[in-house]
Amino acid sequence: TKPVYAFEEADSKQRMLLGGKGAGLSEMTRLKLPVPPGFTITTEVCNKYYENNRKLPKDVMPSVMKNIEKIEKKTGKKWNSTKNPLLVSVRSGAAISMPGMMDTILNLGLNEKTVEGLATQTQNPRFAWDSYRRFIQLFGKVVFGVNDEKFDHVLESAKTKQKVKDDSQLNVESLKKIVSEYKKICEKHTKRKFPDSPNEQLGLAIEAVFKSWMGERAIVYREKNNITKDIANGTAVNVVTMVFGNMGDDSATGVVFTRNGHNGKKEIEGEYLINAQGEDVVAGVRTGKNVALLKKEMPKSHKELSDACSKLEKHFREPQDIEFTIEQGKFYLLQTRTAKMSAGALVKTSVDMVKEKLIDKNKALTRIPAQQLEALLHRTMDESKLKNYKQLAKGIAASPGAASGIAVFDVKKAIELGEAGKKVILIRKETKPEDVPAFFSSEGVLTSLGGKSSHAAIVSRGMGKPCIVGCAELKIDYDKNTCTANGKTVKEGEVISINGSVGTVFIGEVPTVEPKVTKDFEQILDWAQKTKVLGIRANADTPEAAKLARKFGGQGIGLCRTERMFNANDRIGLFVDMIMAENAEKRAIVLKKLGQLQKSDFKQILKAMEGYEVTIRLLDPPLHEFLPNPEELSEKIQKLKAKKATKEIKKAEVVLKRARELAEVNPMMGHRGVRVGVTYPEIYEMQIRAVFEALVDLTKQKVKAHPQIMIPQISSIAELNHIKKIYDKIKKEVETKNKMKLKINFGTMIEVVRAALTANELATTAEFFSFGTNDLTQGTFSFSREDVEGKFLPEYMEKELLERSPFQSIDVNGVGSLIKIGIDHGRGIRKNMEVGICGEHGGDPDSIKFCHGAKLSYVSASPHRIPIAIVAAAQAAI
């Protein structure tokens, strides 16, 4: 390969070599779309630059200069000319787009002489000097690392001095002063003269782009987004002939999506600014005009834009995100890439593009990152409750979903508080790429400046976080840490709520409601249901959850945790009474009451899941989880003593004694699961009976109920057989009493390492297996699942000892091997044995991919994640 390719000669399929931007520019050039001439320095050169101790390989600059000559021929402009100077932009671009992560230098090639040339040639000195000051600022920032604020300061005071509001109103005299101030800033910073030779400028700029690849911002972005070397290895540099959107009122620059990135509608969506240059739109310095207006203001260019949009969509078969510039009425394209859209827009465009025969159903399914669907399943604000809250302000809806949290105006503070577990809403005038880490630790983002294409909007949408931008009525005061709108002030730390779907901001925590599934989403789910092989079941413990799961497309319940039923307020007391009962007789009375409650719950859940299997797990947690914490209780007793409440003290002391008896050093590996069933058989008896009796009632009502009973924490066949005897006894009793045959599958969880290793023994009794991957992961790593995430795990990931938390995504090599052993053993005894997984992993797309490959029967996930699981399962099957 060569180090440098002109756009027309590059092979645009080589994204890894050319980067996304370079590939897009060369593809558009081939499509005969109006792209200013230019060339790409490959990512390979970037890697050589690093191998070469951060020096450009010798053959690069000669190649670059040859390509500059090619541009000169095409444009008739001349490099370093005082008559018709050729200016270029220097732009980074890796194989994966990293929006705004690396800065572009515009107007390169200007110096004291060429700027005069540009002024005379265009007869527009204002434009020439405006371009020059932009160049120095960007060059100073990117190449020399000068703090942006220093330049902003000069610009602001120039505006004040000339008494204007907008950059575009500055006159030549002001601009010349700004230029000389800017240069002084750079020279003070670098202790060298500002480089005047375009050749030197170009060389330095190219190196700066390569350096930015290893800059902190870029490294953090790649880490957070899992961009590894195999998907983007180094950045390319694109050198593009400058075209000017700031040449007057017949010039403009803009950013559009070929379809609405927010809702997916087939309409060109975006913003433009008259008499402005690229960055102005993205940075949100001036709020752009809706592109629909372009049709009135510049009809010819609007037509060229919309033709280009449809041509590009047809070609790439994906909605595109396009940058364009109009120079004195002439239309140019500067970038195209696959549009990053909200989950809703992805769904709608998938369905639409299938209808338009642009893509097939498989492509429609695979182009939606399953994880992103979460946003569609996000809560929205409860409209009926809104009237109780004060609307603080309204801005532009930039990323859908509702979020509440404390107002934080400082980026560092947002990161600190977010990492400490606080819910944070980040409020800023605008955001910059270096603020991205704060996005991760915030629930949502609110800015007072910028439009839908601003940095804050794009980043939030990509992350699926609610975001509002351009909230102009909100006056933010960084010194006082407050924001004010409509006469109301919110201080740092006060709770606000934002609705990124409509753009409204409220004071206080607004209640939210369950999302509704749209027709298009249903269509996608329907295609996915027909494509997937894995079954998708729900982790659901209440009739409501069961109904929700079914609505979302869940086919059965993979895990119904019976203990959750005791957590309800009116029941916990009963359960405590059961634990506290002095003798078996008293315990029997309480258990009977509990049995009635469980039976009625089971009936409702089974009815909600009629026709599908419902796996009911018997009591799992240790009993002391239901009792108060001994320390807290003894504190309470001290207080009661002060009040001399003798009767209450006595009662509390009994509970305290029992709580101390039951306390364990290591409860997760303690007296829980089947071990409770062995020592308190009456509890498991009660639960098994409740399931059987529920089935009796439902069978009489002709409801097709399919309960299954599952035993947690089994480690040996002896334990399982012990419980099976209880099951058999109860089954016989209920069958005899009701004179009917009852079929309830009896199975086990595989969540203890020994269970996986002896699954062939367990399968002689168990009719089904369900891998409890949370506990299995805990046991396999000896990582306490309750503690690690907040303790050493982050450092493990930072130090690359672990790629991801094994509690989020299945550890394929370790836990995955145990699962495979379990399946092989189980199915070696029972050929078509049902084997599923429950646990958090059931809703994780990567784990689902593993489960599909391991030929599991189903995964079980929380109701909200079922649609994600369905789509992920379909993607695994495609």
DSSP-based three-state secondary structure for 787: coil
Do the beta carbons of residue 834 and residue 860 sit within 8 Å?
no
Give the separation between CA 710 and CA 749, rounded to whole angstroms.
Answer: 6
CA-to-CA dists, residue 108 to 28, 135, 460, angstroms: 23, 6, 32
**Chain Cα centroid distance, residue 874:** 20
The distance of closest approach from Cβ of residue 115 to ligand ADP in the complex, given in angstroms and rounded to an integer, is 17
Q: Could you say which of Mg ion, ligand ADP, none residue 751 binds, taking C-beta under 5 to 8 angstroms by partner kind?
A: Mg ion
Select the binding partner of residue 520 from Mg ion, ligand ADP, none (C-beta < 5 to 8 A, by kind): none
Task: Single out the residue of 85, 278, 395, 842 in contact with ligand ADP (rule: CB under 6 A).
Answer: 278
Min CB(47)–ligand ADP separation in Å: 20
- Residue 155 binds ligand ADP (CB under 6 A): no
Task: Work out how close the CB of 282 gets to ligand ADP at its nearest, in angstroms, rounded to a whole number.
Answer: 6
Residues 326-385 that bind ligand ADP (CB under 6 A): 334-335
**Contacts of 801-808 spanning 24+ positions with Cβ under 8 A:** 806/777, 806/780, 806/781, 807/774, 807/777, 807/783, 807/840, 808/840, 808/841, 808/844
Task: Give the nearer residue to ligand ADP in terms of CB position, either 322 or 833.
Answer: 322
Q: DSSP labels for 274-335?
A: ET--THHHHHTSSPPEEGGGHHHH-HHHHHHHHHHHHHHHHHHSS-EEEEEEEETTEEEEEE
State yes or no: residue 325 binds ligand ADP (CB under 6 A).
Answer: yes
Lay out the sheet containing 235-241: strands in order across: 4-6, 38-41, 235-241, 88-94, 105-108
Are 4 and 48 contacting, i.e. CB atoms less than 8 angstroms apart?
A: no
Confirm or reject binding of residue 751 to Mg ion (CB under 5 A). yes
Q: Give the one entry of Mg ion, ligand ADP, none that residue 418 binds, where binding means its C-beta sits below a cut-off of 5 to 8 angstroms depending on kind.
A: none
Closest CA to 219 of 236, 237, 234, 206: 234
Among ligand ADP, Mg ion, none, partner that 872 touches (CB below 5 to 8 angstroms by kind) = none
Residues 6+ apart with CB under 8 A from 578: 587, 590, 591, 594, 683
Q: How far is the CB of 333 from ligand ADP (least distance, A)?
A: 9
In this complex, which beta carbon is closest to Mg ion, that of residue 37 or of residue 401? 37
* Interface with ligand ADP in residues 35-64 (CB under 6 A): 36
Three-class secondary structure of residue 384 per DSSP:
helix
Q: Nearest approach, Cβ of 252 to Mg ion (angstroms)? A: 16
Q: Under rule CB under 5 A, how many of the chain's residues touch Mg ion?
A: 4
Q: Vertex 569, ends 565 and 573: CA angle to 5°?
A: 90
Contact between 430 and ligand ADP per CB under 6 A: no
Contact call for residue 541 and Mg ion (CB under 5 A)? no
Residues in Cβ contact with 671 at an 8 Å cutoff, skipping those fewer than 6 apart: 622, 623, 662, 664, 679
Residue window 95-114: x/- pattern of binding to ligand ADP, with contact defined by CB under 6 A: -----x---x-x--------
Number of residues that bind ligand ADP (CB under 6 A): 17
Torsion angle of alpha carbons 225, 227, 232, 234, nearest 10°? 90
* Smallest distance from ligand ADP to CB 205, Å: 12
- Other Cβ atoms within 10 Å of 221 Cβ, number: 21
Stretch that binds Mg ion, among 175-183, 335-343, 421-429, 849-857 (CB under 5 A): 335-343
Under rule CB under 5 A, residue 775 binds Mg ion: yes
Alpha carbon distance 539, 858 (integer Å): 12
Q: Is 18 in the site for ligand ADP (CB under 6 A)?
A: no
Q: Is 512 one of the binding residues for ligand ADP (CB under 6 A)? A: no
* 22 residue type, one letter: G
- With CB under 5 to 8 Å by kind, the binding choice for 42 among Mg ion, ligand ADP, none is none
Least distance in angstroms from the C-beta of 113 to Mg ion: 30
- Considering the candidates 309, 471, 838, 851, report the single residue annotated as catalytic: 838
Residue with tokens 């001439």: 37
Q: Does 91 bind ligand ADP (CB under 6 A)?
A: yes
How many whole angstroms separate alpha carbon 485 and alpha carbon 524?
41
**Contacts of 193 by beta carbon, 8 Å cutoff, 6+ apart:** 187
User: Does residue 20 bind ligand ADP (CB under 6 A)?
Assistant: no
334 binds, among Mg ion, ligand ADP, none (CB under 5 to 8 A by kind): ligand ADP
The interface region with ligand ADP, picked from 274-282, 640-648, 706-714, 785-793 by CB under 6 A, is 274-282
The token pair that represents 553 in the structure block: 């497309």
Q: How many CB atoms lie within 10 A of CB 45?
A: 27
Cα distance between residue 520 and residue 529, in whole Å: 14
Q: Exactly one of 89, 342, 350, 809 binds ligand ADP (CB under 6 A); which one?
A: 89
Considering the complex, what minimum distance in angstroms separates the CB of residue 142 from ligand ADP? 11
User: Cβ 526 to Mg ion, closest distance in Å?
Assistant: 33
Is 843 a binding residue for ligand ADP by CB under 6 A? The answer is no
Catalytic status, residue 851: no
Q: Name which position in 218, 240, 683, 872 contacts ligand ADP (CB under 6 A).
A: 240
Is residue 243 within the footprint of ligand ADP (CB under 6 A)? yes
Contact call for residue 242 and ligand ADP (CB under 6 A): yes
Please give the C-alpha separations between residue 829 and each of 262, 767, 774, in angstroms, as whole numbers: 52, 10, 25
Nearer to ligand ADP, 282 or 837 (CB): 282
Q: In a 3-state reduction of DSSP, which class is residue 225?
A: coil
Q: Which does 558 bind (CB under 5 to 8 A by kind): ligand ADP, Mg ion, none?
A: none
Cβ closest to ligand ADP, residue 105 vs residue 498 = 105
Whose Cβ is closer to Mg ion: residue 471's or residue 750's?
Answer: 750
What residue 278 binds from Mg ion, ligand ADP, none (CB within 5 to 8 A, per partner kind)?
Answer: ligand ADP
Residue 257: exposure state from Cβ atoms within 10 A (0-12, 13-18, ≥19): buried
- Contact region for Mg ion (CB under 5 A) — 115-123, 162-170, 544-552, 746-754? 746-754
Q: What is the DSSP string of 360-383?
A: -HHHHHHTS-GGGGGGGGS-EE-G
Report in angstroms how near the CB of residue 278 gets to ligand ADP at its nearest.
Answer: 3
Residue 431 interacting entry, from Mg ion, ligand ADP, none, C-beta within 5 to 8 Å by type: none
Residue selected from 246, 263, 275, 335 as contacting Mg ion according to rule CB under 5 A: 335
Q: Which is nearer to ligand ADP, 36 or 622 (CB)?
A: 36
**Nearest Cα to Cα of residue 26 among 46, 48, 42:** 42
Among 20, 464, 500, 772, binds Mg ion (CB under 5 A): 772
Q: Name which of Mg ion, ligand ADP, none residue 772 binds, using a CB cut-off of 5 to 8 Å depending on partner kind.
A: Mg ion
Say which of 455, 624, 825, 852 is annotated catalytic: 455
Q: 153 catalytic, yes or no?
A: no
Report the 3 state secondary structure along 809-857.
CCCCCCHHHHHHHHHHHHHHHCCCCEEEEECHHHHCHHHHHHHHHCCCC
Beta strand pairing status for 467-469 and 444-447?
A: parallel
- Position of minimal CB gap to ligand ADP: 278
Q: What angle do CA 684, 686, 690 make, to 5 degrees?
A: 115
What is d(CA 547, CA 541) in angstroms, rounded to the nearest whole number?
Answer: 11
Question: Which of residues 556 and 712 has its CB atom nearest to Mg ion in the complex?
Answer: 712
Largest CA distance in the chain: 105
**In terms of CB distance, is 138 or 649 closer to ligand ADP?**
138
Q: Does the protein bind ligand ADP through residue 212 (CB under 6 A)?
A: no
Stretch that binds ligand ADP, among 69-77, 237-245, 297-305, 512-520 (CB under 6 A): 237-245
Binding site for Mg ion (CB under 5 A): 335, 751, 772, 775
**Residues taking part in catalysis:** 455, 838
Binding site for ligand ADP (CB under 6 A): 36, 89, 91, 100, 104, 106, 240-243, 278-279, 282, 323, 325, 334-335
